[in-house]
Structure 1
Amino acid sequence: MTDTRIAWQFTALTFAIAYGISGALIVAARFGYEVNNVVTTVPEFLANVPFAIYILSPAIASYLVLKRSRKVSGLGQWLKLVFFAKGRPLGYLLVISALVLYFALHLVVSGPSLLALPWFMFVLSLPGNLIIGGMEEAGWMTALQPELDRRWGFAVSSLMVGFIWLLWHIPLFFLPGTNHEAGVINFWMFAVQIMAFRFLYGAIYTVSRRNAVFLCILCHTAFNAASFTFGFPPTTWAGTIVANAAVVALAVGVVTVSGRQAGNSSRGVPAAAL
């Protein structure tokens, strides 16, 4: 199976799962269903399993498509691909720098949030944000962005995956019980954030391909946990534009420098260690 075919089959299956589940939940909302606050006799954990399947749809589709195409032999090999952590220090430095830059600029431009929680909530929320958020990258970064990057390059593939990622999120704005549907998150500000961070994940893939999936999962998980703790959903245009523009500039700058160093190395000029 060609890489392009894998990408399109993955995308089609991801949306079939995500839109099928979320569509059913939106209908169920008319009968009292609400994410994280279910008014039924069913335990809340069990009632939210369908929502978790929607969120995990990229990971589920990735495993099924990669196994069918014989890119992985089974779940164990897929998990090794997803959680392979050893790679260039630059990848980890990029993740940390982007997160610090984003939240520092939001704090400076938007000011402290009244929704901020104690710092230890960041640690406590990491496991939940790994499942509901971070594991999305186990799909996008194994079966979509790498395939598109090989054909279109960093910038175009980042834009394409960003647009697909935004479409995948749309049902959240119609599911009662989510911050998106409740109006806490503005759709257009959220769209800016989505596109900016897709450039960041594209840059991570460019500079540290061996462990790019793990790094993106780590970044996505930490970002969601920090947003939850600091109370910084994208609610002000000033903070949104400044913080996300800085993330894009960092991503593009790192990719540009990395490309120049690769070019120097290919011509026999020693590149600086990163």
Structure 2
Amino acid sequence: MRPHPGATERRIAWHFTLLTFAIAGVFSGGLIVAGRFGYAVSNVVSTVPEFLANVPFSIYILSPAIASYVVLRAHRRVTGPLQWIRLVFVLRGRPAGALLAVAALLMYFTIHLCISGPSATALPWTMFLLSLPGNLVIGGMEEAGWMSALQPELDRRWGFVRSSLVVGVIWLLWHVPLFFIPGTNHASGVIDFGMFAVQVLTFRFLYGAIFRAGGGNGVLLCILTHTVFNAASFTLGIPPTSWPGTLAANAAVLALALTAAALFPRSGAAVRR
């Protein structure tokens, strides 16, 4: 008896989500417990012990990418690491995806800066370039999981708005341990949870729209957008800092994402497997 159409995709989505939270729960839980004994995430890694201390945190952050590979291989969608890398890092796609990503980032930061004002913690732009590799691993590579094994499948099944909301809530819950791990900006109180939730939910819509608009390289564009967003936020010093700036910037990004999704009604391309 042949499986019902979409049954495999549903299993992939469920297995991916469960494995992601299992990995994240084990490592983030361990880090929270270790925090009671003096552990803290190191923002500046200059020694081998500091690097090793950050490995468990890196595994937590990379849990979506790790789960994507394990689940897609278990379901025979990829045969090994090289095929998974080729699936995620597709270079060719529609220019519309890249244009949308650039427009959204420029819109977000311009509006936020105009309303919230320049930050006292802003850094030289050289730091933006220097922080890109770190933000690719600790941030950008999340999308290698969310956008290869979860959101596009739900988009095709449920539509853009519902899938973006569901994955946005999942993504927000996955971030919650950051507010309890010593050494993170979240745990230090720099980031307000309410403003962070608004931003997370909005950008889930944006990544879904970028995937639709980009086509074949949708996953890679989401990785790059996430990386640049984190690096620019770090450089400009504007994590969510004020409700007016947060609401205005995210409202504009959300409107842009909804418009783009309407122009590209189908998920850009089925993730190549």
Q: Please classify the TM superposition score into its range, dividing by the shorter chain length.
A: over 0.9
The structure 1 residue matched to 2:27, chosen from 16, 21, 25, is: 21
- Whether the 8 Å CA contact 1:154–1:206 is kept in 2: the answer is no
| 1:48 alignment partner, SS class | helix
Pairing of 1:132-171 with structure 2 (within 5 A): 132-171=138-177
Q: Is the 8 A contact 1:37 1:44 kept in 2?
A: no
Task: Find the counterpart in structure 2 of residue 179 from structure 1.
Answer: 185
The superposition leaves residues 25-57 of structure 1 with CA deviations (integer Å, 9 ceiling, x where unpaired) of 11111111001079xx97000011000000000
C-alpha separation in 2, matches of 1:185 and 1:220 = 17
243, 248, 254: which one aligns with 1:248: 254
Question: If the length of structure 2 is used for normalisation, what is the TM-score?
Answer: 0.92
**Counterpart of 1:106 in structure 2: which amino acid?**
H
Q: Which residue of 2 aligns with 1:81?
A: 87
Deviation track 1:51-102 (CA, whole Å, cap 9, x = no partner) reads: 0000000000000000010101100000011111210000000000000000
The aligned length equals 259
1:217 correspondence with 2:223: yes
Shift of 1:193: 0.1
CA-to-aligned-CA distance 1:88-125 (integer Å, 9 cap, x gap): 00000000000000000011110101110001111110
Structure 1: which amino acid aligns with 2:167? V
**Structure 1 stretch displaced more, 69-78 or 1-10:** 1-10
Q: SS of 2:207's equivalent? A: helix
> What displacement does 1:22 show?
0.6
Aligned to 1:116: 122
Q: 1:4 and 2:10 equivalent?
A: yes
SS at match of 1:84: coil
* Secondary structure, counterpart of 1:85 in structure 2: coil
**TM-fit CA distance, 1:206:** 1.6
The runs of 4+ residues in structure 1 deviating greater than 2 Å are 257-260
Q: Please list every run of 5 or more consecutive structure 2 residues that lacks an aligned counterpart in the other structure.
A: 1-6, 269-273
SS of the equivalent of 1:71 reads coil
Q: 2:37 aligns with which of 31, 41, 57?
A: 31
User: In structure 2, how many angstroms separate the alpha carbons of the residues matched to 1:128 and 1:143?
Assistant: 23
Matched, 1:257 2:263: yes
TM-score (normalised: structure 1): 0.92
Aligned equivalents of 1:97, 1:59: Cα separation in 2: 26
Equivalent pair of 2:97/2:212 in contact (CA under 8 Å): no
Aligned counterpart in structure 2 of residue 72 of structure 1, from 64, 73, 78: 78
| CA positional deviation for 1:209 | 2.7
Q: Partner amino acid for 1:207?
A: A
200-209 or 153-162: which moved more? 200-209
| 2:97 equivalent in structure 1 | 91
Aligned-pair Cα RMSD in Å? 1.7
Q: State percent identity of aligned pairs.
A: 68
**Could you tell me how far 1:140 is from its partner in structure 2?**
0.1
1-structure distance, mates of 2:178, 2:51: 18
Structure 1 gaps, min length 5: 263-274
One-letter amino acid of the structure 1 residue matched with residue 194 of structure 2:
W
2:201 maps to 195
The answer to whether 1:129 aligns with 2:135 is yes
Q: CA deviation at 1:204?
A: 1.1
